[in-house]
Amino acid sequence: MKALICGIGGQDGAYLASLLLDKGYEVWGTSRDAQMTEFRNLKALQLDQRLKLCSMAPTDFRSVLSVLARSQPDEVYFLAGQSSVGLSFEQPVETLESITVGTLNMLEAIRFLGGKIKLYHASSSECFGDVGQHPANEGTPFHPRSPYAVAKASAHWMVANYREAYGLFACNGILFNHESPLRPARFVTRKIVDGAVRIAAGSNEKLVLGRLDIVRDWGFAPEYVDAMWRMLQLDKPCDLVIATGSSASLEDFVRMAFLNLGLNWSEHVVSDRQFFRPSDIDWSQGDPELARKVLGWEAKTRMPAVVELMVQDARSSSDLLPSNQHAAVP
């Protein structure tokens, strides 16, 4: 079996590559410029020499078609595109183009080549918006509240349309928040952990965040990529919510990070309105019951354990980023 992972350099791409290699796949991976990309996550997992890496611009149909023709994959995992919710408010056009046009190009290229390739598309829990403290499932209506969420919702429905109109094996994984030590520093969870570790080591900085009352369903990324793979092993394609089914506030996440270091978070953290988003989701939680029934999948690692793993990794790293006191929720 051959798989193509678009966006292999990210957190999910790296863990997915590791999973597929362990299953005996030949794995190809793309980034916008494979020759210049550092692929730090792949190197951290010692995978960079076991993959075939190539450049692909998702917004360029010819580029997408060329990579598909070259790699000839049985499965494509489309994880590419601008991935920061917070950044999408500053770069809405780039966000919409990279996600929507990129997804459309991949769907059209697969159709052009005969429609035999199985496609996993990374949809997002952000599509649901506020759900009024009711866990979201596959039938919950979308109400996106950011340019990122609008783009993901559009791409989600394009995948569903190509599945229905052209018979493609195309799935949407509606993943809720999932973290790991491979999270980039621009994500608030990594900023919290790195900041807490620096403070525990003697830094006198204050960690300045946006809203602390937002509630999310946090899981562990290596478990979530297993759900991606399982979706493409089904007899018929479908869209599934992937989540833990439990939620906690960002304040809880912060508290756990500092608690793991023997510190009282309230002495070191400040919430500043200038880092609030123009619009945000107050409460988000997924209902993974259908994924449990269809895939036999369920999350095993909850938020406290995820935070502990991230703190342990940060403490053992000698490459912590410089102090950044202005960490907004991305």
Buried b (16+ CB within 10 A) or exposed e, 279-317: ebbebbbbbbebbeeebebebebbbbebbebbbeebeee
- Is residue 15 part of the annotated active site? The answer reads no
Q: Looking at 31, 83, 124, 154, which residue is catalytic?
A: 124
Structure tokens at 135: 């866990």
Instruction: Name the DSSP letter for residue 317.
Output: -
- Is residue 148 part of the annotated active site? The answer reads yes
- Please say whether the dihedral angle defined by the alpha carbons of residues 9, 11, 13 and 18, taken in this order, is positive or negative: positive
Q: Looking at 15, 98, 126, 284, which residue is catalytic?
A: 126
Q: Looking at 25, 77, 120, 148, which residue is catalytic?
A: 148
- Is residue 162 part of the annotated active site? The answer reads no
Q: Which of 73, 84, 165, 182 is nearest to 120 (CA)?
A: 73
Instruction: Name the DSSP letter for residue 283.
Output: B
User: What is the Cα–Cα distance from 79 to 190, expressed in whole angstroms?
Assistant: 20
Q: Which residues are catalytic?
A: 124, 126, 148
